[in-house]
Structure 1
């Protein structure tokens, strides 16, 4: 047993050294460790037993101890006050859709009610279409193709009940139609071009059986007369799985309807086509155009043409154009070839195609002719993230929202001539971000030619000399979610004469190939770069992890303890899940586990950074015992007694977490450990 523990660097000495000004860590319960020759055993295994009253008691004592220490940090209360002000400030955000010169968008009132507005793009005149009642929220809204109506998903927040209502935009009156059987995960509906009917996904009769089917509802008719069109249970000749979700796409000047099937988490779609005058309810003879093996990620209908985003040849994507008079995918022509930039979205306007691509964590907007010729990159106001790109097939130009890490979302129009103009649908409050500068960096990932996007945020006029606390965080995701986005709460950190660095790491598009270790190499490369280039030092570099199911922060602490002054996590994954504990381990197994398992990689006598670990009950892939074992081991292993290791959990009502108060705790802790003036431990 001793030999096995020595191989893993774990010594079953559970004594806890005294901290300096903040006292002793709560003692671990005494446990008897027995040798189990067929399994990997460690002296902290008993902390996995959440039903054990001694383990629960220890977690409660650790939580109380940590909360007492955090409450003594000066500057924490002022930080919380500022966070509350920033959270209460409204910034432009959400959907923005333009139809026939009318812009539809939502705002939030001071009492947290939502308003749906229609705005005349030519005159800027606004009309309030809907004000939600207390206890309601606005799910989504979809204007009709002529702008005469808008379908609105109203959510009863208490019971999470969805109701699809129809509003006439001319007088803001609500029709009697109340579609309360809409699938709760719906994000849009489709309209018949003459605005007399909508196509919506209806929830299945049995909850969880499947994701429902698309039905047609004629405005003013009874729900009992709605007709099923396509989806689960509609036709025996056309079968769908439980994870398939179907949405309908229509276009003002097109005689066709397109049914797009989303297959679970796969990005590859199936597409079906039908002429609108050939709809026959469940007997509709849909023609299948595309299957998942064709690698089509998106499609846009425009008159007799269909534009397709294909990743068949290259994962970054190309645009195909198909004449629907010959509705065969083999007849499609490639009009925008794939490049090194990832193609994320596209819209079809009267004058051009507007294509949203991404490079090194930032958006680009490309304009081409409708046949893909005369490609031109438009100059955006700043490096940032485009969202809500939309256009009207009968109008020149496109509308979009642009934001950045230090710039709140604003609405812009790409004019026919290529100029970009702020249309001022959303206005950014002057709360301090105009005093924040940004610097966009691109570094090379070690061992490859892959570029890593890194953004620095700092107060204007600050000299980046390495003498200020620097908080390094990581943003990851696929598609739009991996790009730089605005967060007003960041200002509370930056106002402390501190710097923030954000590294952007795309997630693997293939869900099955993703790993909890994804992002570790990029994260460490960014940290090393910031130190080597003197943007910071190991005494000033701190880090924070908020996304669950990832192991990179625990790995960074375990592998590179000298790199950081402090680390904070609200979702620590310190061990692989499902490792198969009954398997006998060979020497190679032990070596592999020690290198890939951050917990097993901890070593006695190392100067580990300060750590504040919060654990939530019920977070997928991040069980509480992972955090408790990692903290117990870290408290015993570190020789850096000036760096506290704190742990708290909401398990068994040990602590009631409040998001803003927790963020104030986290940042006050990190600023204290970075030696920032105004943040110290009070008696």
Structure 2
């Protein structure tokens, strides 16, 4: 976008950008709400650490002081954002681009096809059931009918094997808490069954469809519902028609209150496989028993440590197949014959390799009746291969381009499966894959008002601080001149073994239409290059992630894409931590920062809701070395008074019970107090919203419009600064 001079702005009208005269405007420095500083000091391993905003840990629903501060912050933020002339045009363009049909990958059960569809601007996607995989189908569940503002959403769901009943979770205001309901699929009738206080673990029906296994937590105190630790889960079996109080306890571990469980039934109805995790790390324990055993029968141990990942894929007779990182950082497939286990011999020694590890990272595997479909990530790009059940390679599965494929699920007896394909410039299309022929057929392709031919993505590699080679994908309008003045959005995550592969985003598309550049590096801590890449960015090595991100910023500047005043950084959750750490370590490097729902107080994160799951990722203050590492980068504890910080808008939500909003509250108050420069430090605190899942479309559009307007103003895009 050509830079503009002095008293002009650029506004979006339809799909064109036009220049509009404005008068000279100078704004005074913002005055922030008073935030009381307390005298709380904690001592860790002989080190005194002040925590002046400890009072902000109280729930906004129960603390008048916190609620008043939040309201005052939102007033300031709303006035600031609504005062940006371009914001309305940006929201209008976002709304127009967002208005296209979007489909999920369908699943097939007993001849019925289930899929989610959003007509465009519906707040929540609608669940449909159809008789053909490309049919229009009929509405099964429309969550938009559950609330006027669209803040009650559909969570996890599972249909019985005979496709007669559907069990589904219903989530309120973005909370991780779900309530399970059951419906008759043929009539749409709601059954009286209602199961409360579930969060994760999913639903596993029995073969005859008369009940299902699920995981629930103890009921929290009303005032602690969105704050207290989520601990002591247990697996129960629910018989249709019974009250929840009659459900049968199947498994619990009161001696290990922070462990979590997932139970799977083999497709041939022979085995129940129990997988136990102690954190968000993929490494897990494995137990099993026969389906025809009584509900209270004990599970037999297979793997009783957390040294490796063993994700159950299915079975062929007595052989259980697993995806594992055992002796394979990029992962492989192994099988174990449970009918001929040898006592006194390690389970690991008795496993047979089926699909060996390769240089590419094995992301996902589905076991079908006569083949294995394996999805790989090769330098952040999807590749898919089919193997025979003994691991003999069959053929590559063709993809429609360079991008990200997802799906390939199904029952072992299925002869077809489905997948989606997307990239930074192409929205997700849905394909049917014939497993017998290996042929893919396009069944749904969205039509969006975005001319992908005008834009391009390029992958490059840069060198981090310690010499590590890191990939980055840069997307923008074709023909942009590398003049060092392009407004650039650098987005990152770097953690929890999560890979950032290319995907279409209306937000990114709009930003690129505005003349912006989108840059996404694949930082250590993610899963792009397997478990070794993950391990290189966790616990005592977490600083590597921040170094990779800062090096990406330096590379964008050296490649003449942008310069410090034109460079913005953005990330959410663990990515919010990333932005907070980069901001406090290099405040001189960025023109604007957008940390969203971030983990920002690294000394107390484990005391709230899901925080205890992250201990293996971050480490805790209980260990002296881990404490020192956490303190060294914890964004809240590294805000320095008298520092000129770049323009920053911190985003969170009042019902976020995964990364509780106290992280953002404390960090924002500290940053506002410390700010020595003229740049704004804003708090955008969404109401009736959570960590992101289930957020209504209207709220997504409004939030994105606020973010892009904030960047437009603070990167000097309207004034050509």
Structure 1 length-normalised TM: 0.75
Write out per-residue CA displacement over residues 239-296 of structure 1, whole angstroms, 9 at most, x where no aligned residue: 77334444432344353332333445342333333333x32232x2532222234623
Q: Which residue of 1 aligns with 2:187?
A: 173
Q: Which residue of 2 aligns with 1:16?
A: none
Q: Which residue of 2 aligns with 1:474?
A: 492
User: What is the deviation of 1:483?
Assistant: 3.5
CA distance in 1, matches of 2:48, 2:287: 55
Write out per-residue CA displacement over residues 140-171 of structure 1, whole angstroms, 9 at most, x where no aligned residue: 332344x5434231527489762432535xxx
- Whether the aligned pair in 1 keeps the contact of 2:272 and 2:289 (CA below 8 Å) is yes
Please point out which of 248, 251, 256 is paired with 1:228.
Answer: 248
**Pair 1:647-2:697 in alignment:** no
> 1:214-613, aligned counterparts within 5 Å?
214-215=236-237, 217=239, 222=242, 228=248, 230-232=250-252, 241-276=256-291, 278-282=292-296, 284-293=297-306, 295-304=308-317, 305-327=319-341, 329=347, 330-374=349-393, 376-416=395-435, 419=438, 421-424=440-443, 426-432=444-450, 434-435=452-453, 437-448=455-466, 450-479=468-497, 482-507=500-525, 513=539, 517=543, 519-547=545-573, 550-570=576-596, 577=603, 609-613=646-650
User: What is the deviation of 1:139?
Assistant: 2.7
Please point out which of 28, 33, 39 is paired with 1:23.
Answer: 28
CA distance in 2, matches of 1:76, 1:295: 49
- Whether the aligned pair in 2 keeps the contact of 1:245 and 1:261 (CA below 8 Å) is yes
- Is the alpha carbon distance of 1:292 and 1:486 closer, same or farther for their aligned partners in structure 2, counting shifts above 3 Å? farther
CA distance in 1, matches of 2:33, 2:243: 62
- Is the alpha carbon distance of 1:32 and 1:564 closer, same or farther for their aligned partners in structure 2, counting shifts above 3 Å? closer
Write out per-residue CA displacement over residues 85-116 of structure 1, whole angstroms, 9 at most, x where no aligned residue: 445544223x6323466432122466656543
User: What is the deviation of 1:391?
Assistant: 3.1
- Whether the aligned pair in 1 keeps the contact of 2:639 and 2:671 (CA below 8 Å) is no
CA distance in 2, matches of 1:28, 1:325: 67
Larger gyration radius, structure 1 or structure 2: 1
| 1:231 alignment partner, SS class | strand
The root-mean-square deviation of aligned C-alpha atoms, in Å, is 4.8
CA distance in 1, matches of 2:243, 2:54: 52
CA distance in 2, matches of 1:631, 1:188: 41
- Whether the aligned pair in 2 keeps the contact of 1:290 and 1:296 (CA below 8 Å) is no
User: What is the deviation of 1:496?
Assistant: 1.1
- Is the alpha carbon distance of 1:267 and 1:22 closer, same or farther for their aligned partners in structure 2, counting shifts above 3 Å? same
CA distance in 2, matches of 1:189, 1:594: 41
Q: Which residue of 2 aligns with 1:582?
A: none
User: What is the deviation of 1:373?
Assistant: 1.5
| 2:556 alignment partner, SS class | helix
Aligned residues: 625
CA distance in 2, matches of 1:573, 1:139: 24
> 1:175-194, aligned counterparts within 5 Å?
178-181=192-195, 184-186=198-200, 188-193=202-207
Q: Which residue of 1 aligns with 2:155?
A: 139
CA distance in 1, matches of 2:338, 2:629: 58
| 1:181 alignment partner, SS class | strand
Structure 2 length-normalised TM: 0.72
- Whether the aligned pair in 2 keeps the contact of 1:215 and 1:226 (CA below 8 Å) is no
* Structure 1, gaps ≥5 residues long: 1-18, 234-238, 580-588
- Whether the aligned pair in 1 keeps the contact of 2:433 and 2:440 (CA below 8 Å) is yes
| Bigger mean CA deviation after superposition, 286-295 or 352-361 | 286-295
* Structure 2, gaps ≥5 residues long: 1-23, 59-63, 221-229, 527-533, 606-626, 688-697
Write out per-residue CA displacement over residues 35-90 of structure 1, whole angstroms, 9 at most, x where no aligned residue: x9x99999x99777879x99999998887666555444331221122234445544
CA distance in 1, matches of 2:334, 2:630: 45
